[in-house]
Amino acid sequence: MLNIGLLGLGHVGQGVLRILLENADLIKERVGQALCVKSIGVRSPEKYQNLNLGGATLTTDIDSMLLDPELHIIVEVMGGEEPAYTYICKALKQGKYVVTANKEVVAKHKKTFFELAKTQQVDIYFEAAVAGGIPIIRSLKVGYAANKIQSLTGILNGTTNYILSKIEEEEKEFNEVLQTAQNLGLAEADPSMDITGLDAAYKLVILAAVAFKADIQLNDLDYEGIESIGLKDIQYAKELGYRIKLLALSKRYDDNRMSFGVYPTMIPEQHLLASVREELNAVYIVGNAVGDSLITGKGAGGSPTGSAIVSDIMDIAFDSTKKLSRRNLETNCQAVQILDSQELESQFYMRLIIADHPRVLEKLTGILGHYDVSIAKLIQKESHNSVAELVIVTYEVKEKNMQQAIHTLKKAPEVHRFLTYIRVKDLV
């Protein structure tokens, strides 16, 4: 029997416990031994008195729990950087395997964990930290192992995907849809980590290590959120044949340099990622052997996330006869040369409110031209009281040129309000 210690018994912890209890026979048959939760560390045990703990003991003394020689695996589902970081280090130093769903702590401290695990001849598993129930980490390590990954593009945040889908379907504005998502439990009371793109950025840092063996930090990538996207942007995107998704983008160039970023992005509506709706997550991979491939599924929720955690535990159980798992090869991950994001090229969509006078368009196209920005499409529909809404889609242009052009446009007296800009990518 393999004994497990759970740190945290919230949404995910309860999902893990439930799956281990409900599927106990199936799991035992598959891995050849029983997997049993022996103890559970929480802050307020009284909150969990009515749950079926399957014989596990609740404790607040996590330091002692981590010293228990009968625990083989520690499952960290508390969240946050501390004390999760300290507990994970302690568990690894005690020679215990660790499974975690915590993207923040893995993104920030992966190198320390991988090295500690290697020294102790154990391992740390984190399937649930990226895209919840989708087995993307294991797919990259095993299913796509024969490939040099050329690009990886993900919808890694279910909350923002839900909000963008609902703005389009229900023709409502961002704040109203966010409120509904909060009422449905699909967005946190404080949604900032999701809507600013930070959550997806943490996940991209982790995927970079697994897909590209690239040791990058949060500050190696730019991330932007969806706060400034309105119903009108989504409607214009539709008119132009696009859909807006919050994408985590990573790419390897021919000279082996790499780029990473998280941006709301317009993609062609016929692209596979465009059909990933509601709170679903997806990862689109281009490998040099497999070609294009898409994996999609639920990215959050106690049960899908619990599914990923229990599969990690089962993987450890499969491997527990060996001293060191050969699956988690990120100990080899290294610094990579990252392309300066200012040099990356994209098309851009912009929406702005301008003065509706003769020669205004000429002035604005002059500003764009000054920064080598060429216009591919221009839409001007509504005009009231000498004020008009203008939508511009550019041809491909370097990020730095576009940012300078936007900066100048924002200051131009003819521009009453610069509402939004969104990158446009064909993803080919």
Nearer to ligand NAP, 54 or 79 (CB): 79
For the chain, give the secondary structure using H, E and C. Answer: CEEEEEECCCHHHHHHHHHHHHCHHHHHHHHCCCEEEEEEECCCHHHHCCCCCCCCEEECCHHHHHHCCCCCEEEECCCCCCCHHHHHHHHHHCCCEEEECCHHHHHHHHHHHHHHHHHHCCCEECHHHCCCCCCHHHHHHHHCCCCCEEEEEEECCHHHHHHHHHHHHHCCCHHHHHHHHHHCCCCCCCCHHHHCCHHHHHHHHHHHHHHHCECCCHHHCEECCCCCCCHHHHHHHHHCCEEEEEEEEEEECCCCCEEEEEEEEEEECCCHHHHCCCCEEEEEEEECCCEEEEEEEECCCHHHHHHHHHHHHHHHHHHCCCCCCCCCHHHHCECCCECCHHHCEEEEEEEEEEECCCCHHHHHHHHHHHCCCCEEEEEEEEEECCEEEEEEEECCEEHHHHHHHHHHHHHCCCEEEEEEEEEECCCC
Give the binding-site size for ligand NAP (rule: CB under 6 A).
23
Give the footprint of ligand NAP on residues 128-147 (CB under 6 A): 128, 132
Give the footprint of ligand NAP on residues 302-321 (CB under 6 A): 305
Candidates 18, 28, 79, 427: give the one binding ligand NAP (CB under 6 A): 79
Note whether 50 binds ligand NAP by CB under 6 A.
no
Nearer to ligand NAP, 41 or 287 (CB): 41
Nearer to ligand NAP, 5 or 132 (CB): 132
Candidates 5, 16, 27, 41: give the one binding ligand NAP (CB under 6 A): 41
Q: Which tokens sit at 123?
A: 């391992």
Nearer to ligand NAP, 186 or 286 (CB): 186
Candidates 134, 186, 300, 344: give the one binding ligand NAP (CB under 6 A): 300
Minimum distance from CB of 69 to ligand NAP (Å)? 21
Minimum distance from CB of 298 to ligand NAP (Å)? 9
Candidates 30, 43, 359, 417: give the one binding ligand NAP (CB under 6 A): 43
Note whether 102 binds ligand NAP by CB under 6 A.
yes
Which of these ranges, 183-191, 246-254, 300-308, 414-422, lies near ligand NAP under the rule CB under 6 A?
Answer: 300-308
Minimum distance from CB of 353 to ligand NAP (Å)? 39
Given the residues 103, 203, 298, 425, the one annotated as active site: 203
Nearer to ligand NAP, 60 or 235 (CB): 60
Residue 169's contacts (CB-CB under 8 Å, 6 or more residues apart) are none
State yes or no: is 103 an active-site residue.
no
Minimum distance from CB of 299 to ligand NAP (Å)? 7
Nearer to ligand NAP, 66 or 402 (CB): 66
Nearer to ligand NAP, 16 or 36 (CB): 16
Note whether 301 binds ligand NAP by CB under 6 A.
yes
Query: With contact defined as beta carbons under 8 Å apart, do 309 and 6 qualify?
Result: no
**Looking at beta carbons, which residue is closest to ligand NAP?**
10
Minimum distance from CB of 19 to ligand NAP (Å)? 14
Residues lying near ligand NAP in the complex (CB under 6 A): 8-13, 41-44, 47, 77-79, 83, 101-103, 128, 132, 300-301, 305
